[in-house]
Amino acid sequence: MIQQKTLNFAKLKGSMIVVTVFALWFSVFFDDYVETVLSYVLIMSFGVLHGANDIRLIQSVTSNNSKSAFIRVVLAYVLVVAGILTLFFVLPVLALGLFVLISGYHFGEQHWSKSLLVHSSWNVLFYTFYGLFILFMIFYLKSEQVIPILEGILKISVVTEVLGYTLLFSGFSLLVFGIFYYNKGLVKSNLWEELFVLLVFFVIFKTASLLWGFCIYFIVWHSIPSLKDQMDYLYGESSWRTFGKYIKDSILYWAVSIIGLLMLLWFLKDSSENMVAILIYFLAAITFPHVFVMSKLEKRP
Ligand SMILES: CC1=C(/C=C/C(C)=C/C=C/C(C)=C/C=O)C(C)(C)CCC1
């Protein structure tokens, strides 16, 4: 019964390819300004929404629904968010380095956790190299726009070679892991399909503007599949009905996150930080607790 109602993953993947092609077509017809505005709208809506149920999910994975447990979770959440933001201003290199590393792990885990047939600590490295390969593909292909953003956050100079060598390193490590996992028959998904998806990402990042390319990946290939996983976990199925329920359950947290982002923009309005840097602080602040929660959820049997 549940199986029938739950969105079929292969069907979802097909729709993701169609939406991606449409988004690419869109980028040919509209200029960077339209792409940028739409990127912010999508990241603030779907992107933030897929992390807006974290407090609820933390409660659910720790199976404690009491009021005091809820207050403890909220306090811990606020402390972690404040701690991450502080780290960006005190030790920006460490903060950004950790954020990129953890994001890589998180993107890889979201993509692979259901297709790997083995539970091993090596999976952590495989996930991380996969996500880093995608992120550094963006950074390298759009280095002209990315370097000033990184330099603004890190307060040190960054050269394209660092981005290129890290891309090569993560690509090579991914290749080694991929050959090993596929040779041993430890992966369910089709190798050619996976390579095709990476090729699609390359075309997106090369063709679209920085923010639009990131947005297509982040929304279509990460946030939507993650929303599906969360709905399956919270309500036992993913359908339009449970999507409505998810929105109803998370709208308050979502609104608080958006108010937090607006406050961050207001606090930093007189500093030299650009909008993308502020978006990165915000994403980092909500990503650390999110990765912790989702990792627990993806590991469930
Ligand atoms: C540094 C940097 C970027 C990285 C963003 C990352 C790493 C986002 C991760 C988000 C996550 C993991 C959200 C949670 O689900 C951009 C925006 C591509 C632009 C250029 C500079």
* C-alpha–C-alpha distance, residues 257 and 46, integer Å: 12
Q: How far is the CA of 144 from the centre of ligand 1 (A)?
A: 16
Residue ranges making up the domain that contains 106: 2-255+275-298
Q: Which residue has the higher pLDDT, 5 or 12?
A: 12
E strands of 102-207, at which residues?
none
Per-residue pLDDT, 38? 93
Count of the separate structural domains present in the chain: 1
Q: How far is the CA of 139 from the centre of ligand 1 (A)?
A: 10
Going by pLDDT thresholds of 50, 70 and 90, the confidence category of residue 1 is very low
Q: How far is the CA of 92 from the centre of ligand 1 (A)?
A: 15
Q: What pLDDT digit, counting tens, does each position of 67-113 carry? A: 787 788 788 888 888 999 999 999 999 999 999 999 999 999 999 98
Provide the ipTM.
0.96
Per-residue pLDDT, 63? 65
Output DSSP code: residue 63.
T
Asked whether residue 150 is domain-assigned, the answer is yes
Contact 257, 25 (CB under 8 A): no
* C-alpha–C-alpha distance, residues 9 and 221, integer Å: 12
Contact 45, 281 (CB under 8 A): no
Looking at ligand 1, which residue's alpha carbon is closest to its atom 9?
103
Asked whether residue 270 is domain-assigned, the answer is no
Which segment of 91-95, 192-196, 217-221, 288-292 scores lowest on mean pLDDT? Answer: 288-292
Asked whether residue 261 is domain-assigned, the answer is no
Asked whether residue 34 is domain-assigned, the answer is yes
Looking at ligand 1, which residue's alpha carbon is closest to its atom 12?
103
- Identify the residues whose C-beta falls under 6 Å from ligand 1: 51, 100, 103, 106, 135, 138, 146, 149, 210, 214, 276, 280, 283, 287, 290
Whether pLDDT at 257 is above 90? no
Q: Which of 166, 283, 297, 298 has most ligand 1 atoms within 8 Å of its beta carbon, as the pocket-test mutant?
A: 283
3-class DSSP assignment, residue 226: helix
* C-alpha–C-alpha distance, residues 167 and 59, integer Å: 37
Q: What pLDDT digit, counting tens, does each position of 127-142 carry? A: 999 999 999 999 999 9
Asked whether residue 264 is domain-assigned, the answer is no
Q: Which residue has the higher pLDDT, 88 or 290?
A: 88
Tokens 């279509």 belong to residue = 220
Whether pLDDT at 168 is above 50? yes
Mean per-residue pLDDT over the chain, rounded: 88
Asked whether residue 200 is domain-assigned, the answer is yes
Per-residue pLDDT, 11? 72
Asked whether residue 262 is domain-assigned, the answer is no
Ligand 1 atom at minimal distance to the Cα of residue 150: 21
Tokens 């880093």 belong to residue = 132
Looking at ligand 1, which residue's alpha carbon is closest to its atom 3?
280
Going by pLDDT thresholds of 50, 70 and 90, the confidence category of residue 148 is very high
Q: What is the pTM of this model?
A: 0.89
Asked whether residue 285 is domain-assigned, the answer is yes
Whether pLDDT at 300 is above 80? no
Q: Which of 128, 138, 211 has most ligand 1 atoms within 8 Å of its beta carbon, as the pocket-test mutant?
A: 138
Per-residue pLDDT, 4? 45
